[in-house]
Structure 1
Amino acid sequence: MTSINSGWSRRRAAAGIKASLRALRNQMSLLNHQVGARLELRDVDLDCLEIVQEHGPLTPSALARRAGLHPATVTGILDRLQRGGWVARERDPDGPDRRAVLVRALKDRNAELLGLYAGMSTALDGLLAGYDDDQLALLADFLRRTTEAGRTATEELGRD
C-alpha cells in the first residue's frame, strides 16, 4: 500500500512542478513583455539580444539557428536592435568573404536593461537567501537540466 501511495504522491508532485514551470514561463514572458515595451523592443528582439549577449559575437545565421528563426526574420530583428543601440554588426575577419559579419552586443544600454529587471533580481536574491548551499546546488542542477531538456525539445521541433 505504501508504494501505491508513494507513486501517487510522486506523480502529484511531478505534476505540480510541471504546472509551476508553466506558470513561471508565463510570468517571465509577461515580465519580458513589459521590459520590451519600456525599451520599445519586441519579445523576440529581447530573446535574440539575450542570445547575442550570452553566446556572441555570432553570425546572423548562427543567431537564426540558436533562436529557431528564419534568417530573413533575424535580419529585421538585427536592424531594430542596431537602430536601438543594442548590437553592432562588424566584419567577420574569419568569414568566407568580405560580406561576412558578426553581431556583437553593445554594453552602452546594459544599465538600462538591468534596471528594468532589478525588481525581479532583488526578489530572487531574497528568495535564494532562504536556501542552504546543498539546496542551491540542487536547484541549480534542476534548472540547468530543465533548460537542456527545453533546448533539446526545441531542436527536435525545429527539425520537423
Structure 2
Amino acid sequence: MDAHSATSVHAPAAAESDRTGPPVRRATALLREILEVSEDFERHLGRELTVNPTDLQAMEHLLMSGPLGPSELSRRLGISTASTTKVVDRLVDLGHVTRQAHPTDRRGILVVPTESSRRRALSTLMPMIMGIDAELDAFSADEQSIITEYLERVVAVYRSHIGP
C-alpha cells in the first residue's frame, strides 16, 4: 500500500460536506463517489458494447441469470413487454443475444446472450471486479471482516429505504 492509500484508508472520521447534502464522514462521501464512478463505468461498458442504458441493463440480467423469457426480462427491467421486445430486437441486431425456443414450453422463447457478447462484456468487467477484490489483500482478516460487516449494513440501510 502506498503512502497516499494508507492516509486515505486510515484517515480520521472527520466530517466532510457532500456537494448537496449535510456534512458526512469521509467513508459515507466515498460510498457516494463509488456510486457515481459505478455509473461512469456502466456508461463505459455501454459504449464498449454499443448499447444504450436499458439494453445494457437487459444484458446484465441475462449475463447474471442466464437465459430469460421476455416476460421475466420485462419484469426485471420494469418496462412493458412491447418495450422489452424492442430491447431484444436491438440486442439481436447487434449480435448480443439470440432468441431460442424454450426447452419446456413449446410456445415460449428464451433470450440468450451470445458467447461472443458474453466474452466481450466479461473482458471489460472482470479486470475491474478482480481489481476491486484484490484491494482486500491489503487488509488483515479482521479488517476484512469489519469492512464486510460495514458494507452489509450499508446494503441493509439501502434496502430499508426502498418502498414496496
How far off its partner does 1:47 sit?
A: 1.4
- Matched letter for residue 133 of structure 1: A
For residues 152 and 102 of structure 1, the distance between their equivalents in structure 2, rounded to whole angstroms, comes to 33
Q: How many residues align?
A: 145
Q: Displacement, 1:40?
A: 0.9
Percent identity, please: 26
Equivalent AA in structure 2 for residue 104 of structure 1: V
* Matched residue, 2:4: none
Structure with the largest fraction of helix: 1
Q: Deviations over 1:111-142 (max 9, x none)?
A: 32233335523531442221233443454455
Aligned positions of 1:85-104 closer than 5 A: 85-95=95-105, 98=107, 100-104=108-112
CA drift of 1:49 comes to 0.8
Counterpart code for 1:123: G
The match for 1:112 among 115, 120, 130 is 120
**What's the RMSD between the two structures over aligned residues?**
3.2
Distance 1:118 1:28 in 2: 14
The aligned residue for residue 24 of structure 1 is 34
In structure 2, what residue type is equivalent to 1:107?
E
Give the residue type in structure 2 aligned to 1:120.
Answer: M
Matched, 1:79 2:78: no
Unaligned runs of 5+ in 1: 1-9
* Residues 120 and 52 of structure 1, relative CA distance in 2, 3 Å threshold: same
2:71 is equivalent to residue 56 of structure 1:
no
TM-score norm. by structure 2 comes to 0.67
Q: Which residue of 1 aligns with 2:80?
A: 70
Higher relative contact order (CA 8 A, sep 6+): 1
